[in-house]
Amino acid sequence: MKKTLILSILLTFICYTKSFSQYKLKIIFKDGTEKTDTYKAKGWKLTSLTTDEKFHLNDMKEITYYKDDKSFKYYVIDTKTYVKSKRSKIRLARKAYEGKNIELYYVYFRWTDGHGTGSFSVNAYDEAFVKKKDEPYAYNMGYIYGFIYEGIKKRVRVYFKDCPELIQKVNKNKIKKKNTLEMVTFYDQHCGQ
């Protein structure tokens, strides 16, 4: 839990900061080339402090962040909220599971609400996205924006329609609707191609 919180905070600073910060990163681009350098970040754009080259998240496949003697790997994924969503969004995610048929990613979200009173609360959490190996998008399979608890069983029925046994287990609460990792591992071991 503590490690997840630290990674989530770290991801916030890499992606969402409005001020220029410096990070030692290894970037693997979609074309397979790699660059390791110290970069300054503003939003989704990185600028090399050595060459002054600018890069956007859309051009990247993976980012490894180095801090002290540790490294943290993130993947650039194209996501949709629902299977039938028309729009997609590029996100930076941590890979939690990679099987032969499916992958599970966690994307950091930060939500701020003033409740109409002028007082603000900030909620930070990881949202689960699943991606079958043969599909271009990862789909949201968690609690959308951290607070909408409805619709997960419906999303499981739609997304995992090729695995009736998994749908039945989730509907009968043999696999809890909050346990995305268990759903994904079950799918990988019993369904898919």
Query: Over the stretch 24-66, which tens digit does the pLDDT of each residue have?
Result: 999 999 999 999 999 988 877 889 999 999 999 889 999 999 9
Structural domain boundaries enclosing 160:
76-190
CATH code of 24's domain:
2.30.30
82 and 154 fall within a common domain:
yes
Closest CA to 155 of 170, 174, 141: 141
Q: How confident is the model at residue 127 (pLDDT cuts 50, 70, 90)?
A: confident
Q: What is the mean pLDDT of residues 99-104?
A: 94
Which of the listed residues 33, 68, 103 is the one where a domain comes to its end? 68
115 and 141 fall within a common domain:
yes
SS3 state of residue 121: strand
Using an 8 Å Cβ cutoff, are 130 and 104 in contact? yes
149 and 128 fall within a common domain:
yes
80 and 168 fall within a common domain:
yes
pLDDT at 76 over 60: yes
* Residue 4 Cα distances to 10, 69, 75, 88, 188, angstroms: 10, 18, 16, 25, 24
pLDDT at 18 over 60: no
Model pLDDT for residues 160-186, shown as the tens digit of each residue:
999 999 999 999 999 988 889 999 999
Which of the listed residues 45, 68, 91 is the one where a domain comes to its end? 68
125 and 176 fall within a common domain:
yes
pLDDT value at residue 153: 83
Instruction: Identify which has the larger pLDDT, 28 or 149.
Output: 28
Using an 8 Å Cβ cutoff, are 91 and 79 in contact? yes
Using an 8 Å Cβ cutoff, are 134 and 99 in contact? no
98 and 155 fall within a common domain:
yes
Count of structural domains, the chain: 2
CA distance 136 to 11: 23
pTM assigned to the model: 0.77
Q: Sign of the CA dihedral 185, 101, 163, 92?
A: positive
